[in-house]
Amino acid sequence: MTVSGFTFVRNAVRLRYPVVAAIRSILPLCDELVVNVGVSDDGTLELIRGIGDPKLVVFETAWDDTQLAHGRVLAEQTDLALERCRGDVCLYVQGDEAVHEDDHPALRAGLSRLAADPAVEGLLFDYVHFYGSLHTTGTSRKWYRREVRAVKNGIGVRSWRDAQGFRVWEPPPGFQGERPRTLKPGDPARKLRVVHVGARIFHYGWARPPAAQAQKLAELERLYHGDEARRRRLEAGFEYDPGEKVRAFAGTHPGPMRAFVAENDWPFQACPRLVRLDNLREDLLDLFEAGTGVRIGEYKNYRLVR
């Protein structure tokens, strides 16, 4: 079995993406690690090359601004990296995610099964979403609990929508058209058959100092809605919501992330309430989930197999 890691990034320095830690968190599991670096103005390409590991396969792309709608450019850049992968299985990490070294044994076993079992097409990870600080994690249903981060190579896997997950492109018999650049609702695609691997993805997308988070969110607004949306977001600024439902993080961060954690800290005092009148439906569903472990109406972009 050979394992290809893959990721993409652009302007990681300016937007404070801990992408070097993300890469290092999966590098020990990989035979190669493909990094698609979008043309940047802040030294991101030099940052990635500075990792200096011979397993890295680094290439540079210019992002297509005609694909900005609904974040499709993110899926396109993910697919460009995936297409360069040569391994039997492919392990994905985004620039603000990391895998904990404690989970490497379970993940290695899962990758071996993914390579060997024809009934399995992907691996499903549990998510730890940091919000507000590097010491608090989101607990409400707005945070997705699981997502696919490893896929079998060579079966037509493509990034789905805005690169949160994956699907298999599966055109009908006799299909004569061109393969779409990015998959979207309505395209001939199906959910992957996956197994729950028992490993975690630590997600730091909502864990930057507020001023840095404002810059990152403004850039995402541009990717989804254009330059005017970016301008409005920057004018509005950003503060973390003290009413967001969080709990104190009691575990340890992945080893490669610990320097980032030590260097980045800011005050955040959460004051969550069990029930908020302006979010009554969501809060009642959260209470039901807390008591039963069942998430009603959970989005599942995969088919779980045993």
pLDDT per residue over 200-227, tens digit each? 999 999 999 998 899 898 888 887 777 8
Rounded to 10 degrees, what is the CA torsion of 107, 29, 149, 178?
-140
pLDDT at 220: 82
pLDDT at 66: 67
Alpha-carbon distance values, 59 to 28, 149, 182, 235 (Å): 21, 21, 20, 34
pLDDT at 43: 97
pLDDT at 52: 96
* pLDDT tens readout for residues 103-114: 999 999 999 999
- 183 DSSP 8-state letter: B
- 58 DSSP 8-state letter: E
Decide the pairing of beta strands 165-169 and 56-61. unpaired
The strand order across the sheet containing 157-160 reads: 157-160, 165-169, 189-190
Q: How do the domains of the chain map onto residue ranges?
A: 3-206
Segments of the chain scoring below 50 in pLDDT? none
8 A C-beta contact, residue 114 and residue 150: yes
Q: How far apart are CA 252 and CA 189, in angstroms?
A: 38
pLDDT at 233: 84
pLDDT at 69: 65
Tokens for 288? 């039901």
Amino acid at 292: T
Task: Write phi, then psi, for 207 (nearest 5 degrees).
Answer: -140, 70
pLDDT at 67: 62
Q: Is 269 helix (H, G, I), strand (E, B) or coil?
A: coil
How far does the chain reach from its first CA to its final CA, in angstroms?
22
pLDDT at 230: 83
pLDDT at 225: 77
How would you class 296 by CB atoms within 10 Å of its CB: exposed for 0-12, middle for 13-18, buried for 19 or more? exposed
Domain 3-206 adopts which CATH fold?
A: Spore Coat Polysaccharide Biosynthesis Protein SpsA; Chain A (3.90.550)
